[in-house]
């Protein structure tokens, strides 16, 4: 267990951030699944929102920049092919 007051605070902060990151990542994954299952009209409407969510995850280092780029590319191709 931690011996310093600052270390205890760091543990609390880390857990809070981990839960927030987990929530945001899971929400984005669900949005991606919804986009992939949607028809043309609905997918076109969801696309900008999902791209924004992916960009936010990359900006906050929850996912890697390259992973974000790959996801966005694949989703763009999917929406265009509908």
Every domain of the chain and the residues it spans: 24-81
**Which residues of the chain have a pLDDT value below 70?**
none
Q: How far is CA 36 from CA 3, 12, 13, in A?
A: 49, 37, 35
C-beta separation of 46 from 34 below 8 A? yes
CA pair distance 37, 20, nearest whole angstrom: 26
Q: What are 13's two structure tokens?
A: 């902060």
pLDDT, tens digit, 9 for 90 and up, residues 21-39: 999 999 999 999 999 999 9
> pTM for the whole thing?
0.86
Q: Which residues contact 49 (CB under 8 A, 6 or more apart)?
A: 31
């Amino acid at each position: 267990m931690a011996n310093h007051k600052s270390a205890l605070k760091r543990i609390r902060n880390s857990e809070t951030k981990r839960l927030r990151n987990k929530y945001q990542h899971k929400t984005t994954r669900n949005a991606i699944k919804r986009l992939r299952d949607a028809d043309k009209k609905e997918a076109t409407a969801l696309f900008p929102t999902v791209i924004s969510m992916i960009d936010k995850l990359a900006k906050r280092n929850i996912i890697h920049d390259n992973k974000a780029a790959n996801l966005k590319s694949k989703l763009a191709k999917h929406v265009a092919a509908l």
